[in-house]
Structure 1
Amino acid sequence: MSLPRVTYSNIGVDFSPVHDHLDRLIPDFERDVLGKEWKTAFATNQPQRFASPIDPTLALGLFPSTSASDIDAAVQAAKNGAAIWNNSTVAERLDFAARWYKVLEEDKYQLGLAALYEVGKSRLEAIGEAEEAVDMLEFYPEELRKNNGYVRPMNELIEKETATSVLRPYGVFAVIAPFNFPVALSIGMIVGALLGGNSVVYKPSPECQLTGLLIAEGLRKAGLPDGVFNIVLGDGEVGRQLAQHKGVDGVAFTGSHKTGMSIFRNMANGPWMKPVIAEMGGKNPAYVTKNADIARAAQGVVRSAFGLQGQKCSACSVVYVDEDVKDEFIQEFKKFAETIAVGDPRKRETFMGPLYNSGTVERFKSAIEEVSQKGTIHYGGTPLGDDFPANYFVGALAEMPGPSRLTKDEFFMPFVVLRSVKDLKEGLAEGNDVSYGLAAGVYSRDQSEVQFFLDNAQAGVLYANRASGATTGAWPGAQPFCGWKGTGVSGKGGLGTWFIPQFMREQSHTIMTV
């Protein structure tokens, strides 16, 4: 069946065939996949019930958790697998990637639905994420292929001497994934480690264990030597024990700044520094100048702020608007925001679903209360109503009179702060004055302003004049996703050229012919 391909930016496409297909799949998924009791080798503790954020009465399934001895066993299995996979050829890794690509292409709608139920994503957000994962299995293997497996001849200084640079695997990588993109971010880190020749111990988010286990099933179907891929289940304590395990040679992590930095510091405390590949959130400002297409700017900010309920590391959560067009921007924002549907993400018309958990609900309420006392709420911020569970809210646009924790801290919710500024320069000065540096966007029809933004924004992912999203929508091979400052640790990001080499270390081979 040929269906339109869903990405994060092709907003003008008619996705009716996709929705028709999902109308047929959703009842079967609820009947055949949800509510099961799962078992896996390295999770032997008693299973627990997990519910969907869509509806607390909807059981995702019963999932066991991993004990300390299970972690030891999983890491030992990975070390056994590494003895084989560390020495695999580039051709063997590429053959595996081609098999996994075919499996993901077949399974993408099931994986997307798992993300819909576990995270509360809208249909198109969920299927778009699965499509992104499929594209990773095209882009990253091609990078490995065209770079000759990262083997490169070097300068020959004397006759009969050859010198070669070779990137080689570290050994065993722990992959610790977040809740908000349980398919794409998990698969991205896993494929980076595996194509780099490492074995993997993977821990999905505790609320996204269904997605994690379905990914593991797909890898089993794709075929890997025993021990090369292993999955553990559980809460943050399981992740901490895994990251600190002496048998782990590197950690790939996506999540909060606090947790990521604790992993980084721990990996620096041993007899040698072990690699950490981390993406740790963002504040992601947008800038609207007096020369902007205001309607386009409002649409881009709404989509980036309210898509996935603002629970993206690249979600726009603060917008700096030229004082001359502030009132017009607020009106256009409200006009467009009122057109998006908030509700049950199983429905085809829904753009924005529930907040993820009670902690997010409390943060949202606290922010609304703070603005009520110190600023102005221009739009939303209210519960959806009695017909919905308590974690459904209308996203909020709030204006604050000056910098505050609301303009500096990451909150991971559908809440965007407006700041009125004299010009782009003033806005950038304030927008750069944060610990994060993931994404930023600008709206202006003045090319000199766009260039000033590109030259001065302190973030790794920059956009200009995007109606599909002010700060969101990165895609494999198109927008490398690199965190600056407190967002990242290496100065290199995912989705781009320099991702796989981070999972490898350089070795030079100098050989004399005798």
Structure 2
Amino acid sequence: MTDTLPRVTYSNIGADFSPLHAFLDREIPAFQAGMSGKTWATPFATGPVAAVASPIDPALDLGRFPVSTEADVKAAIASARKGAAVWNKASLDERLAFAARWRAALDEAKYRLGIAALFEVGKSRIEAIGEADEAVDMLDYYPGELKANAGYRREMIEMVPGETAVSVQRPYGVFAVVAPFNFPVALSVGMLCGALLTGNAVVYKPSPECQLTGLLLAETLRKAGLPEGVFNIVLGGAAVGEALTTDPGIDGVVFTGSHKTGMSIFRHMATRPWMRPVIAEMGGKNPAYVTKHADIERAAAGVARSAYGLQGQKCSACSVVYVDNAVKERFVEAFRAFVAKLQVGDPRDGATFMGPLYNDAAAARFIAAMAEARAGGRVLLGGERIADLPGNYFAPALVEMDGPSRLTREELFMPFLVLRGVDGLEAALAEGNDVSYGLSAGIFSQDQGEISHFLAHAEAGVLYANRASGATTGAWPGGQPFCGWKGTGVGGKGGLGTWYLPQFMHEQSHTIMTV
């Protein structure tokens, strides 16, 4: 029975996952056999069909998927507008009932969804199943917030006798939901929750290489029983995304991806007759700080897990570590020892911690970053291609740079960590804050004064202290609101927290005088 298997929460790294691995030993080959060579179809994707290969092995066929034409996108938006005419008026109880049905469908499908992410992204088993568990928990947390806040309805003050006033939140109408490749289950479900639970209809576009996961998610929504037209899916790459997010039939966009693409959506919205909401998370350059008062073994484990989990392809991945020069040599020694125990290989293997880079473009960026590090700094660990594996597999890299550079400021999205030796936390924070992003940051120190200083001065929305499970990663619904500052996000409210859902609604006040 799957309900007896251990859950994965990113934080419970010490749990006994052997029953889960025994289950996956059977399920992964069965899933692979079922998907190989399959041709998928969906109403709003009638264009050419193309085969998609897994990053695990270019010879591994994930199936054949059609592309949405411009006419398909228009038709999906028209369908959503018809669905919105019904769902925009749905009561709080109706939306909560839908959420309960969707949660049940997601829970039933979560292992298939996790395994699909393993094949499509190259995630390790634990990362992939953890993502699916996170998605199910979202359907506990967000409906709970919606119910606890009575749909965000508030009674207002009575200005004169006989006059009542209330603040209500109303859906915008139709949201475009544009998902990234790296968390095709959890990030898709989170954004869909935001739109659907608040009464909006959606047109959803998964990442072009994660269409299998997107279509499996669509099946869970079909089982959950939304009114016709409320959920619609289109397939394709950047051209389809641009057609979707720029269409005048869209009332808002929720997007996770690159800063460049996110800002292009904002610029387009600024040309419209009035601004529509854009809820965007646009990457990160996430530092960790190891002070001279740190537990060095804990710091090495936490930094390595955040730097190299999912091959560093997380917006919250630790990509720079500032280490006090007084403990730098000890940290490097402990870090090397920890990383030596991490297995790089095929994610179908239960012992694998780190799989392949996502595609050839990611591999090229990694190779270029290594060349840049060799020219301007020192390679302390890794960076070489693993030649006996069929995909883009590389040993995780640790490099040391003597000063700030592109490698310490730009998002790289790869298993590439820059070490900077510093004299004191103050200097480290000044440099770590001097970037365009502001998603997450972490500190390792046993000095409470240093921790308090970090919490008060780190310019990021998600802060961690002394977290061995991940220096800068591991947010969970209801546990760590995931809010990007500066160039990472907008609106100052993040996912996984109490203020996420209201962003998908606009306020309306109702004042009524009794006559």
Contact 1:383-1:390 at 8 Å conserved across structures? no
Report the residue type matching 1:24 in the other structure: R
Deviation at 1:373, TM superposition (A): 1.2
**Residue of structure 2 equivalent to 1:476:** 477
Contact 2:461-2:484 at 8 Å conserved across structures? yes
**Residue of structure 1 equivalent to 2:457:** 456
Q: Partners of 2:403 and 2:465 in 1: how far apart?
A: 25
Report the residue type matching 1:124 in the other structure: I
**Residue of structure 1 equivalent to 2:7:** 5
**Residue of structure 2 equivalent to 1:131:** 133
Report the residue type matching 1:173 in the other structure: F
Say if 2:341 is the partner of 1:350: no
Contact 1:51-1:58 at 8 Å conserved across structures? yes
Report the residue type matching 2:416 in the other structure: F
- Secondary structure at the counterpart of residue 471 of structure 1: coil
Contact 1:50-1:59 at 8 Å conserved across structures? yes
**Residue of structure 2 equivalent to 1:491:** 492
Contact 1:182-1:212 at 8 Å conserved across structures? yes
Report the residue type matching 1:168 in the other structure: R
- Secondary structure at the counterpart of residue 323 of structure 2: strand
Q: Which runs of 5+ in 2 are unaligned?
A: none
Contact 2:171-2:504 at 8 Å conserved across structures? yes
Say if 2:372 is the partner of 1:365: no
Match of 2:273 among 271, 274, 278: 271
Q: Partners of 2:270 and 2:195 in 1: how far apart?
A: 20
Contact 1:283-1:316 at 8 Å conserved across structures? yes
Say if 2:87 is the partner of 1:107: no
Deviation at 1:161, TM superposition (A): 0.4
Aligned length: 513
Greater shift after overlay, 175-184 or 21-30? 21-30
Q: Partners of 2:80 and 2:243 in 1: how far apart?
A: 15
Among the aligned pairs, what percent are the same residue?
Answer: 67
Q: Partners of 1:260 and 1:8 in 2: how far apart?
A: 27
- Within a 5 Å distance, the mapping from 1:310-321 to structure 2 comes to 310-321=312-323
Say if 2:394 is the partner of 1:397: no
Contact 2:176-2:245 at 8 Å conserved across structures? yes
Q: Partners of 1:35 and 1:313 in 2: how far apart?
A: 32
- Secondary structure at the counterpart of residue 155 of structure 1: coil
TM-align CA RMSD: 0.6
Deviation at 1:267, TM superposition (A): 1.1
Report the residue type matching 2:220 in the other structure: G
Match of 2:296 among 285, 294, 297: 294
- Within a 5 Å distance, the mapping from 1:170-189 to structure 2 comes to 170-189=172-191
Q: Partners of 1:469 and 1:423 in 2: how far apart?
A: 22
**Residue of structure 2 equivalent to 1:326:** 328
Q: Partners of 2:421 and 2:266 in 1: how far apart?
A: 37
Q: Partners of 1:34 and 1:493 in 2: how far apart?
A: 38
Instruction: List structure 1 runs of 4+ shifted beyond 6 angstroms.
Output: none
Say if 2:63 is the partner of 1:56: no
Deviation at 1:33, TM superposition (A): 2.6
Q: Partners of 1:502 and 1:429 in 2: how far apart?
A: 32
Say if 2:18 is the partner of 1:22: no
Report the residue type matching 1:429 in the other structure: A
- Within a 5 Å distance, the mapping from 1:437-448 to structure 2 comes to 437-448=438-449
Deviation at 1:390, TM superposition (A): 4.6
**Residue of structure 2 equivalent to 1:158:** 160
Q: Partners of 1:459 and 1:492 in 2: how far apart?
A: 12
Contact 2:318-2:471 at 8 Å conserved across structures? yes
Once the two structures are superposed, residues 318-348 of structure 1 have per-residue CA deviations (whole angstroms, 9 ceiling, x without a partner) of: 0000010011100011000000100000000
Once the two structures are superposed, residues 105-140 of structure 1 have per-residue CA deviations (whole angstroms, 9 ceiling, x without a partner) of: 110000000000000000000000000000000000
Q: Partners of 1:53 and 1:21 in 2: how far apart?
A: 23
Report the residue type matching 1:442 in the other structure: I
Say if 2:505 is the partner of 1:504: yes
Q: Partners of 2:213 and 2:230 in 1: how far apart?
A: 19
Report the residue type matching 1:182 in the other structure: P
**Residue of structure 1 equivalent to 2:89:** 87
Q: Partners of 2:29 and 2:367 in 1: how far apart?
A: 34
- Secondary structure at the counterpart of residue 487 of structure 2: helix
Say if 2:339 is the partner of 1:308: no
Q: Partners of 1:110 and 1:473 in 2: how far apart?
A: 22
Report the residue type matching 1:158 in the other structure: V
